[in-house]
Structure formats: C-alpha cells, structure tokens
Copies of this chain bind each other. A is one copy, B any other.
C-alpha cells in the first residue's frame, strides 16, 4: 500500500539509478553487454519506483507487441477451448500473449477480425483450417506477417500448416463399421460450406463407403449445426426411414452425444440396434453409456506444436512448412457387430 508517484517512467528509473535510459531499456530486455553492477542498480530502482513498462510505447519503438493473434471459429466447441488452453500455456513460456478472435464460421468476419488483429500489431497469426478468403492469405503475405494454418493437412505452398489428416481416420471408421458387418450407414455432418475439416471427414465417409460397394444413400446424409439438440433431432429423423441405418457416423462427438441420448430415449440399444461413432474424443466420450468410439483429435499436442512453430517463424528460425500429427481411432463400445442381417 506504498504511497508512490502514480506512474514512474523509464526515464525516472534511469534518473533514480543514475544511468541512461538506454541502459534501463537494456536491463528490461535482457540485452547482452550489461554489467552486473549496473543491472542490480537498475533493478533496485525499478522495484523502488514500482515501474511497469508501457506496452504501447514499447510496441511502437520495437515494432513487436509480444502477442500473436489466433482466429478460431468459436470457443463453444470444447475441442477448440482445449486447444487454445494449451496454446496459451505454451506461448507463455516464450513470453508471448494470445489475442483471440472468433468468427463463427463466417469467412468475411474472419477477414475483418484478421484486419483488426493486424492493426493491433500482432507479431504473428494462427488460422484454423484451410478455408479462408483469398484476401486473408494475401494480406498476411503482403504484410510479411508470420502465420500458420492448422487443424488440416492440405499441402498448400501458400499456407504453412501444422495439423492432422481429417480424412484418414474417417476412412478407418467406415472400414471399422464395414468389418463389423454394417451395410446401411448414415452420416450426420456439421455444415461444410466454410469448414474444410468437416468436408474432409464427410467426403471420406462417403467415398470409403462407396468404394467398398455400400454407398450411403442421400437420405442418410444429414447436415446440421453443431449441438447436442441437433444431433438428437437428426437421429430421430434417421429413424423415420423405411430402412433405418444400422450405424451412424457423426462429424463430431457433440453430435454423437445428441444421437446417443436420443437413442437411449427411444429405447434403442447401442450398439445392438445401432452403432454410433464420433470424432474429437472429448473428455466425456469415454464416460458415455456405452463409451463412444471416436477419433482422438490431438488438440493439446497441436496447441504445443503450433505455439513452437509460430514462435520459430517469428524469430526467423526454420520451421517445417508442413507438420502432421496422428489422430488415432479410439474404438469403444458404441460400435458393435451388425445384428440386422
């Protein structure tokens, strides 16, 4: 509760320590060529005056703000908040902050938010997925701003990427179901128009099934918004079909939860009456009844990797243009042998 001069400036510290402003700045920034004695004097003065550097002035003079911007469709999805969480933790080690902006899957909003971030002077930008307005990538390139896309695996020379293959595990899920004897599959997908990840999953589901000789009928392909309620409704709709599917592939775990809850409610047994798969492996997936077969999206590892990669780019260190993580299948008891035929 010390009574002190409201806001000490760097110059005040310099005066108090009897050194130049440059020296104070050097101490502050851990620059080399600073003697122990001087450092101690300055640090004492800083403590005494309760000095806090002004971020804006520092940013203006040094041309960096010590923060990166991340554009995420929504924080509503636990898989994104988990990712952001680990991204933030890891960036902290690099002494770097996070500016988060959301755009609700609207790429025009994403572009607008990107402009705002650039205006704020972020040192780098992380984009999610591969679907963006051309202007967004353009702007980043023209500004020479380090950036990264993630959560996908498109090998685009314009877009460095740290991600995983959305299609491969989707194919494996279908193969898993076919092996179990399922022949009438259905898909409940998130909207795909501005979401390459959802699109990759959906296309992979459809293509794999078709190539195996068991194409998924158009009536069994439902696209709904993200949400439990939406999953539940889609399930009910599928059950009105003359020949209901024996297995349902969901574009994400949340939709799968909706499906499972709706199934329980209408007394369908999982997996005896219908098998269910998700995609994400949210914390509660192993606790569902039965535990949910899904794909373990490496959200946390992705956060760490993205943090390291963007920092490397900002520092001008070499960083691979294209990095991939595994997204393994997690087979649990929500899928089982088909009993319909």
Q: Give A residues with C-beta under 8 Å from B.
A: 1, 4, 6-7, 52-57, 59-60, 65, 67, 74-76, 78, 81-82, 84-85, 88, 97-102, 115-116, 118-121, 138, 142-144, 227-229, 232, 257-258, 261-262, 264-265, 283-284, 287-289
Contact = CB atoms under 8 A, between A and B. Distances in A.
Contact of A283 (B6, B53, B228, B262): B228
A123 B36 CA distance: 36
Given A59-B59, A60-B54, A257-B284, A99 B102 contact: no
Contacts of A100: 98, 100
A57 B116 CA distance: 15
A218 to B, nearest CB: 27
Contacts of A227: 283
A97 B115 contact: no
Contacts of A258: 284, 287
B119 A52 contact: yes
A120 B102 contact: no
B75 A84 contact: yes
A318 to B, nearest CB: 24
